[in-house]
Chain A
Amino acid sequence: MNRRGFITQTALTSLTAILGTEIVFGKFIPTDYQPLGVQEPSPFQLFEKDNQMVVLNDKPWNMEAQAHLLDDAITPNKYMFIRNNGKIPETIDLDTWSLLVDGESVGQPKRYSLAELKSKFKHHTYQLTLECGGNGRSEFDPPAKGNQWTVGAVSCALWTGIRLRDILKDVGIKNDSVYVGYHAADTHLSGDPNKEPISRGVPISKALQDETLIAFKMNGEDIPLAHGYPLRLVAGGWPASASGKWLTGISVRNKVHDGSKMSGTAYRVPCEPLAPGEKVTDDKMCIIESMPVKSLITYPKTGAIFPIEKKLNIRGHAWSGEFAVKRVAYSIDFGSTWHDCNLEDATNRLAWQHFQASISFPKKGYYEVWTRATNSQGIAQPMVLPGWNPKGYLNNACHRIAVKITA
């Protein structure tokens, strides 16, 4: 079609919108064509997210928070990052939804309906930190492939569900069980029905922990669609990709699960440290397990300007995968001196801990406030980027905010 035809039709489209499409120009509209406004709904409305959330990708949907949005002790849905590998399931029928537990290491595969899962097993609620393995990827040099997360791919919500352990006990698992892999209802971007977008999991030891849940509630309500409605595996403290959304199956394996995104460079880092940009073969890559020690300043938002007589009250959260955080310190002189923050204990294991401090500044000018957490193993956050890896995982470098002090 020539340019003139295009313009005429653009005008026509707006005209039909005004006049009402069905009557006058109805025959122009292909049956399955939806007007632009309907085709592209706002992701903020669609997923009930705050409009300060940052969309990294719209196919598949990937969205992150900014540091100051994560100020709540318990992350509400509106500030929770979305990380999808495939397409969100289009139809979810609660009556027919089921969870199949199978694999080499179960005696007899068993299928549970949603109602059965909820009624048969005891419910538990934990606050669990879920951080994307690639949170902080955008800082790596040479650049690492994937969604360029900055700091906002982390959340700590309340998850309610049943223990994975209780189901495994009910099914009965063999002594040779090594790993638990999940299967889900999301669909592959290519449209291939035989491909799973992602099918990861955890070693049997993690699967048997008290806090490893098959959840059906988040923050006391049904899990939001983008976060796995109606059923989600939640393995706090590990890369969030281990916590499969839209859960339909659990396979108890007698070897390391070999589902999609369990091999190659996906959610794996070099077993031995590499120079930045160095090549590594797949057999020298190891699966990420517990996430590293990290902290985030959630108040104030970076960019604060205030007079020298004012004390700055900072606050935020710190977490360290399977471990507790023992100390959070701040620095206003680029790491030359460190001062302890007040640090609270976690509500439960695998939940983030809150810190706060009150800071005076010696003279006016530009400062950066850095925080640095140290875990129970004595391991602290690095001030520069940690070890380079091909996919840019595990960046736990100190968080920094900029402030200006005026006279």
Chain B
Amino acid sequence: MNQQEKYFEAVAQIRKLMLRLIVVFLIMIAVIVHSLLAPDVFVLGNSPHEEPYAWVEEAMDDRIENGIHVRTGFVSDTGLMTVVANCTNCHSAKLVTQNRMSKERWRATIRWMQETQNLWDLGDKEAIILEYLASNYAPIQKGRRQNLEKIEWYVLE
């Protein structure tokens, strides 16, 4: 391939790129103009007028980062969304994640909430919830006194 061929090939590539950029740019302008005139296009297949609350709920942040469900702080594992749906209506997820119990004690806690705190019958979801809680929030042995931990050392003036 001589110098001239290389030159023409490069020119052709640049021209293609420019064309693509122009097309993309035009599409963007079209979308913006359209959105200002008829903003509904942003809601793909879901009219906010029919379901005014739907997108608020859908827009709930369900991202998982480092194995943690960001919005609630729950560990990401089988049954996560069942737990979110049934265990965060009345109280914060923090009340769950602070605690460590055996499956038997988690079950007793559910019964206590059902007997005294208006928790509904969990039906076949109960087994999923119990499995999730017992495997992710199981007791850790601490003994009669733990070492002092998480100390932030500083120079005392």
Contact = CB atoms under 8 A, between A and B. Distances in A.
Q: Which 8 A-B pairs have the closest CB atoms?
A: A190-B118, A59-B92, A304-B156, A141-B142, A189-B90, A143-B100, A384-B144, A306-B156
B117 interface: yes
B55 A143 contact: no
Contact of B56 (A25, A30, A145, A192): A30
Pick the most buried of B90, B139, B143: most chain A CB atoms within 10 A of its CB.
B90
Contact of A57 (B53, B54, B95): B95
A360 interface: no
A145 B101 contact: yes
For the residues of B in contact with A, the DSSP-based class is: loop
Contacts of A1: 44-46, 54-55, 58
B142 A305 contact: no
Given A59-B91, A302-B148, A6 B59 contact: yes
A146 interface: yes
A189 B151 contact: no
Contacts of A18: none
A305 B153 CA distance: 7
B84 to A, nearest CB: 13
A143 B59 contact: no
16 contacts: A1-B46, A1-B54, A2-B44, A8-B44, A9-B59, A12-B42, A140-B142, A145-B99, A145-B105, A147-B98, A189-B91, A190-B119, A301-B154, A303-B151, A305-B155, A306-B156
Interface of B: 36, 39, 42-46, 48-49, 52-56, 58-59, 90-92, 94-95, 98-102, 105, 109, 112, 116-119, 139-146, 148, 151-156
Interface of A: 1-2, 4-6, 8-10, 12-13, 24-25, 27-28, 30-31, 33, 55-60, 139-143, 145-148, 188-192, 195, 264, 300-306, 310, 312, 368, 383-385, 397, 400-404
A56 B94 contact: yes
Given A28-B48, A57-B98, A141-B143, A33 B56 contact: yes
A312 B152 CA distance: 18
